[in-house]
């Protein structure tokens, strides 16, 4: 198993293939040994990969610098793979579950029972921080762990309010740990590394890329019992996470606000479409009492 997980980490860092292709590798060769013996032409033919992609993948697979960098990263950061016994079971049920996760901080937090993702706009209203404090602080006192994405705005508020109240938080980031994004959250990044946990699908040297952020959203919602949207505009990227939460069978919550603010329009639309209106932390803890056991049988 140890050698298989190392091969999986190695393969996941090679260009030219997708997570779906790697799943095909695992399905046809669970030990991931055969792939190292094949030529690029054989890889292309056997796994139905375009020759150009197979050549790029083959090149990286046998590139000594890739292996050297991997060896250093393994020594610097804990890495969780989908073949590990301690891989979070709730993540294993979602569509396109992450195959490899790099960790920075307290990995034991993945064993928490009560996790809630708290997300929202990067350009919050003047009332947003008070909303987060009002709803999140009682949850922290009730031993909830808060998951978010380290973005500006609501994400940052969620992490900071949690840390300020000695709670536990997990940040799912859209870049490698050596490329902190956004830069303005560098101090918050290291505070979470000290008192919480950061997770990334991307190797430590990977820079932030636009498509990483909607990708990581499925992990934010997938780890959590439910997703709470504090503020969102009508066309907010936050709604991508909401769609993924619904697709994953997770609970979805929204905080209402003044109709005069554009930051509340997305939440109001969600409520109209069936999200639970949240006026206090009790609206969430009530659902945990009713549905929490179902969540843990996923």
Structure tokens at 278: 């949240």
Residue 293 has pLDDT above 80, yes or no: no
Q: Maximum CA pair distance of the chain?
A: 63
Please give the sequence-ordered ranges of beta strands (E in DSSP) within 160-274, or none if there are none.
168-172, 197-200, 226-229, 251-254
Residues ≥6 apart with Cβ < 8 Å to 224: 115, 116, 117, 147, 245, 250
Name the pTM for this structure. Answer: 0.94
Angle between helix axes 51-61 and 40-47 (nearest 10 degrees) is 130
**For residue 99, how many C-alpha atoms fall within 13 Å in the half-sphere facing its CB?**
20
**For range 194-215, the mean pLDDT:** 95
pLDDT at 207: 96
pLDDT digits (tens, 9 = 90+) for 213-265: 999 999 999 999 999 999 999 887 788 888 889 889 999 999 999 888 899 99
Residue 118 has pLDDT above 80, yes or no: yes
Q: Rounded to 5 degrees, what are φ and ψ at 257?
A: -165, -170
**For range 103-119, the mean pLDDT:** 96
Burial (0-12, 13-18, 19+ Cβ within 10 Å), 19: middle
Q: Is 13 in contact with 65 (CB distance < 8 Å)?
A: no
Rounded Cα distance between 282 and 298, Å, is 24
pLDDT at 163: 98
Residue 295 has pLDDT above 70, yes or no: no
**For range 165-194, the mean pLDDT:** 97
Tell me which residue of 125, 136, 179 sits closest to 159, measured CA to CA: 136
pLDDT digits (tens, 9 = 90+) for 270-286: 999 899 999 999 999 99
* b/e map 205-230, b = 16+ CB within 10 Å: ebeeeeebbebbbbbbbbbbbbbbbb
**H/E element, 79:** strand 79-81
pLDDT at 296: 52
């Amino acid at each position: 198993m140890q050698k298989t997980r190392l091969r999986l980490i190695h393969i996941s860092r090679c260009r030219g293939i997708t997570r779906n292709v790697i799943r095909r590798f695992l399905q046809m060769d669970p030990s991931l040994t055969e792939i190292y013996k094949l030529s690029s032409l054989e890889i292309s033919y056997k796994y139905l990969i375009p020759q150009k992609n197979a050549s790029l993948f083959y090149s990286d697979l046998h590139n000594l610098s890739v292996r050297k960098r991997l060896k250093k990263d393994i020594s610097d950061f804990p890495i969780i793979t989908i073949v590990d016994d301690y891989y979070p079971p709730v993540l294993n049920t979602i569509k396109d579950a992450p195959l490899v996760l790099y960790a920075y901080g307290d990995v034991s937090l993945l064993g928490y029972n009560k996790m809630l993702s708290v997300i929202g706009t990067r350009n919050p209203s003047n009332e947003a921080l008070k909303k987060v404090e009002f709803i999140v602080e009682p949850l922290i006192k009730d031993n909830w762990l808060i998951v978010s994405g380290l973005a500006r705005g609501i994400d940052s508020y969620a992490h900071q309010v949690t840390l300020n109240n000695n709670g536990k938080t997990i940040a799912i980031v859209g870049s490698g740990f050596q490329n902190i994004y956004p830069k303005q959250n560098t101090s918050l990044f290291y505070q979470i590394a000290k008192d919480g946990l950061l997770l990334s699908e991307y190797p430590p040297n990977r820079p932030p890329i636009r498509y990483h952020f909607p990708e990581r959203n499925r992990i934010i919602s997938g780890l959590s019992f439910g997703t709470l949207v504090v503020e969102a505009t009508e066309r907010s990227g936050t709604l991508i996470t909401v769609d993924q939460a619904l697709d994953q069978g997770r609970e979805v919550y929204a905080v209402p606000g003044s109709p005069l603010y554009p930051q509340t329009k997305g939440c109001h639309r969600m409520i109209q479409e069936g999200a639970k209106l949240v006026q206090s932390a009790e609206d969430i803890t009530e659902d945990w009492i009713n549905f929490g056991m179902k969540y843990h049988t996923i």
